[in-house]
Each structure stands twice: as C-alpha cells, then as structure tokens.
C-alpha cells in the first residue's frame, strides 16, 4: 500500500511566514483555506495563528470560523500562494509521506478534537444565551442621560437597557473588557438575536468601550432598534448601535445593527429570509466597511447608501450618526432616501468607485463659501482681459 501525504506540518510552516495582522480580507481567506483543507479540525491551527495579532479577539476568530463552509471555493493553494509572497519556499517545506494507517489515525484524532471543541463552543453559546436572558431581565430601561447616548446625540429605545458594571459582573461572572480595558459605570445592553432568538448581547459603557458576552454567537446576529413588523416595507441595516439609532429616529423605518462590517452580509441575508418582500437598505460607513456594505446589498438585491458630508468632510465624519449630529435629521433622511439598488456584478466595485448608479440630485448640505480665483494663475493673454474688467 503506497504512502500518502499529510499537509498539516507544511501548512503550519507556511503560516509562520504570514503575519496574523494582515488585512481583514486576507485573514478571512486564511481561515477559509484552512477550513477547506482541514475541516473543523483546522480551527485550532487558525486560532493559534490568529493569537499572534495584537488585535486578536477570541470571539471574532470563532465567529469567523463558524461562518465558513468546509467545501468553500478557497483552497489550501491560496494559503501557500500567500505564504510564498512573504518568503515561504514550498520546496524547502515538503510534506513528509506517511502510511495510510497513520494518516487515518491522525485524521480521526483531529476530527475527534474538532467534535470536542464544537461541543465546548455549543455549551458556551447555550450558557451565553441563558445569561443574556438573565441580564436583560435584571437591567433597567436605558436613560437619555447615559453618557454614551448623550455624547452621540441619540435617545434610547425600548430595545436598549442599562445596568451597573458591578452588578453585571456579578451576573456573568467576570468584568467585561475591551482591548484589555474594563468596561465601567453604566453599561448599555443591546440584545443580539440570531434567527429571531436571543443569542447574546453587546455591552457599551459611557466611554464607548464595547464587548460581547463570552461564548455568545454574533455571526448573523443583529440588534433591532424596534420590533420589526412582518409587513415591513423597508429594513435598514447599519453597522453600529448608535448609527442604527440615528437612522431609526430620522426615518422611522425598521432598522437593525449588524455590529460589525463583516457581519453585514449575513444579517442582510437573514433579513431577506425573514422579510422577502421588504426593501433592504444597507447604511454603509465611509472607510473600511464600504465594500462590505456594497457586497451585502448585492447579495440580497438590496440598496446601499453612504452618508454625505459635503466636499469638506473631516476625518470624524464616517457614519450616519456623525451626519445626524452635524446636519440634522432631515439631511439624514434625505440622503437615505437616495439609496439605489445595486446590480450584482462579476467582481465587486473598486473601493473608491461610485455606488454603480447615479443618485437623484439633492441640494448641497454643506455651505460652500465662494473663493476669489488668483489672477496670477491665469494665462497672460486672459489675465490682462480679466484685470481690465475687474
């Protein structure tokens, strides 16, 4: 019986050449390649590699892995090609041939490990869902003077509650943290639903630090600014809670928050399944999440729109909450109503391209002061004529 090859050692060697701090899209492709080759048994390899990033979040790593199919189109060849770009030489890292019996033993061991890890993750998810219900029942209605809401210029809704950080820690068994900083004071609780059922919640303190409940499933989960009627004509999907709040207050249309740009497509698909007749509008943020918003809109035959800050946008202006604060509710509503459906394309539009359709012309939001054109910048023959009449 001929020997066969176990690629795992070569995969692990290739990963040492790829920084886990690569762009998000490339990080996702590494996960997809590993899952295609190793199945669920590859999660430990992916998670251990991801831990080398300063931005590592265990829940993010786990949710990303769960969202992938083992039979997806990205293969292990993609990972090897990425590693070669950073100096990996496949010729120097050839997989050692092993006997079929040993290969089968290793595969069975990996699959058993993967099953145990999946069981642990499911237990953690079940516990998180139970804790979410307990915390929600103990929390009080969010108040308008909550520091984060007040600073963002939005008022609370019935689907937001708040609880003291000390009480929260006693209920969930630990002090929630964001980038190694503990959440303090009055904590907003934004319940996250998956397939219409409470799964976990997002916590936000007065300074805007955010954290998820340990073990909770957020993939395809969303926070809703209000109950979504079955007959909803339009459903708006934003990234963050306060952006969704601004859009809801400005338009009165059903609005949900996907809680990350990487989750926009899954939430859009969930909304399309639950509300097949509704118009779905993606409210994209300017910057990192632009392409994700477009892709989500295309996936559900929906519309996409971005905030308009005029020609002199500052770096602080990125989402519809920022636009709400700067220009008011009418301006936000007017821009959202220009949303256009995106046609599905063979390849996504360039990050810096337009949305693919001309919007209905709207009055300028920002005031533009006329500026005198410098005469010295004109060609001599024209300059003389201008100086005669000015």
Cβ-based neighbour number of residue 355 at 10 Å: 21
Q: Final residue of a domain: which of 201, 218, 235? A: 218
Q: Are residues 197 and 225 in the same domain?
A: no
Strands 279-283 and 303-305 turn out to be: parallel
* Residue 115 or residue 294, greater confidence: 294
Query: Comparing C-alpha atoms, which of 247, 209, 200, 244 is closest to residue 224?
Result: 244
Q: Are residues 305 and 292 in the same domain?
A: yes
Across-strand partners of 210? 204
Kindly report the average pLDDT of the chain as a whole number. 85
Q: Which domain covers residue 233, as residue numbers?
A: 219-390
| pLDDT score at 258 | 95
Strands 279-283 and 234-238 turn out to be: parallel
In order of 52, 208, 209, the CA distances from 364 in angstroms are 47, 31, 34
Residue 346 scores a pLDDT above 80: no
102 in helix, strand or coil?
Answer: helix
Q: Are residues 76 and 223 in the same domain?
A: no
Cβ-based neighbour number of residue 249 at 10 Å: 19
Cβ-based neighbour number of residue 72 at 10 Å: 12
Per-residue model confidence as pLDDT tens digits over 63-82: 788 778 766 678 888 999 99
Per-residue model confidence as pLDDT tens digits over 132-183: 999 999 999 999 999 999 999 999 999 999 999 999 999 999 999 988 899 9
> What is the share, in percent, of the chain residues with pLDDT greater than 90?
56
Q: Are residues 49 and 94 in the same domain?
A: yes
Q: Are residues 57 and 169 in the same domain?
A: no
Cβ-based neighbour number of residue 354 at 10 Å: 9
> What gap in Å lies between CA 68 and CA 41, rounded to an integer?
13
* Residue 207 or residue 342, greater confidence: 207
* pTM beyond cutoff 0.85: no
Across-strand partners of 235? 254, 280
Q: Are residues 202 and 235 in the same domain?
A: no
| pLDDT score at 380 | 61
> What gap in Å lies between CA 15 and CA 103, rounded to an integer?
21
Q: Are residues 202 and 234 in the same domain?
A: no
Please report whether residue 22 resides in a domain. Answer: yes
CB-CB contact of 197 with 243 (8 Å): no
Q: Are residues 8 and 136 in the same domain?
A: no
266 in helix, strand or coil?
Answer: helix
Cβ-based neighbour number of residue 371 at 10 Å: 6
| pLDDT score at 355 | 40
> What gap in Å lies between CA 87 and CA 83, rounded to an integer?
7
Q: Are residues 248 and 377 in the same domain?
A: yes
Q: Are residues 60 and 36 in the same domain?
A: yes
CB-CB contact of 64 with 31 (8 Å): yes
Please report whether residue 105 resides in a domain. Answer: no
* Residue 340 or residue 263, greater confidence: 263
Please report whether residue 137 resides in a domain. Answer: yes
| pLDDT score at 246 | 97
Residue 295's contacts (CB-CB under 8 Å, 6 or more residues apart) are 264, 265, 348
- Long-range contacts: 137-144, Cβ < 8 Å, 24+? 138/163, 138/167, 138/171, 139/163, 139/189, 142/188, 142/189
In order of 10, 24, 185, 286, 320, the CA distances from 249 in angstroms are 54, 32, 26, 20, 11
Please report whether residue 112 resides in a domain. Answer: no
> What gap in Å lies between CA 330 and CA 152, rounded to an integer?
17
**How many domains does the chain divide into?**
3
Given CA atoms 124, 128, 130, 131 in this order, what sign does their dihedral have? positive
């Amino acid at each position: 019986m001929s020997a066969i090859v176990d690629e795992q050692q070569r995969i692990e060697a290739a990963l040492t050449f790829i920084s886990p701090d690569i762009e998000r899209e490339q990080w996702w492709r590494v996960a997809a390649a590993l899952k295609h080759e190793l199945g669920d048994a590859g999660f430990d390899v992916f998670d251990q590699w991801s831990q080398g990033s300063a931005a590592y979040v265990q829940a993010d790593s786990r949710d990303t892995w769960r969202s992938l199919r083992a039979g997806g189109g990205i293969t292990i060849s993609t990972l090897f090609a990425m590693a070669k770009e950073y100096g990996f030489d496949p010729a120097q890292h050839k997989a050692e041939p092993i006997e079929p019996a040993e290969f089968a033993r290793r595969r069975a061991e990996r699959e058993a490990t993967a099953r145990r890890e999946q069981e642990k993750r499911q237990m953690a998810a079940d516990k998180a869902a139970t804790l979410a219900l307990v915390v929600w029942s103990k929390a009080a209605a969010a108040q308008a003077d909550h520091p984060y809401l007040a600073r963002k210029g939005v008022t609370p809704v019935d689907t937001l509650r708040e609880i003291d950080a000390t009480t929260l820690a006693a209920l969930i068994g630990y002090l929630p943290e964001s980038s190694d900083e503990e959440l303090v004071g009055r904590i907003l609780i934004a319940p996250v639903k998956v397939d219409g059922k409470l799964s976990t919640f997002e916590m936000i303190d007065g300074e805007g630090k955010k954290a998820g409940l340990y073990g909770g499933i957020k993939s395809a989960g969303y926070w809703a600014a209000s109950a979504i009627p079955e007959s909803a004509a339009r459903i708006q999907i934003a990234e963050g809670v306060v952006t969704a709040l601004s859009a809801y207050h400005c338009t009165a249309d059903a609005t949900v928050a996907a809680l990350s740009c990487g989750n926009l497509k899954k939430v859009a698909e969930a909304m399309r399944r639950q509300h097949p007749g509704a118009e779905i509008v993606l409210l994209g943020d300017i910057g990192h999440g632009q392409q994700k918003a477009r892709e989500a809109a295309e996936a559900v035959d929906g519309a996409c729109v971005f905030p308009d800050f005029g020609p002199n946008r500052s770096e602080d202006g990125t989402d519809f909450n920022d636009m709400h604060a700067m220009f008011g509710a009418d301006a936000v509503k007017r821009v959202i109503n220009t949303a256009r459906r995106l046609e599905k394309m063979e390849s996504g539009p360039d990050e810096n391209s337009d949305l693919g359709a001309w919007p209905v012309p709207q009055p300028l939001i920002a005031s533009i002061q006329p500026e005198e054109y410098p005469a010295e910048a004109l060609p001599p023959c024209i300059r003389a004529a201008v100086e005669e009449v000015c």
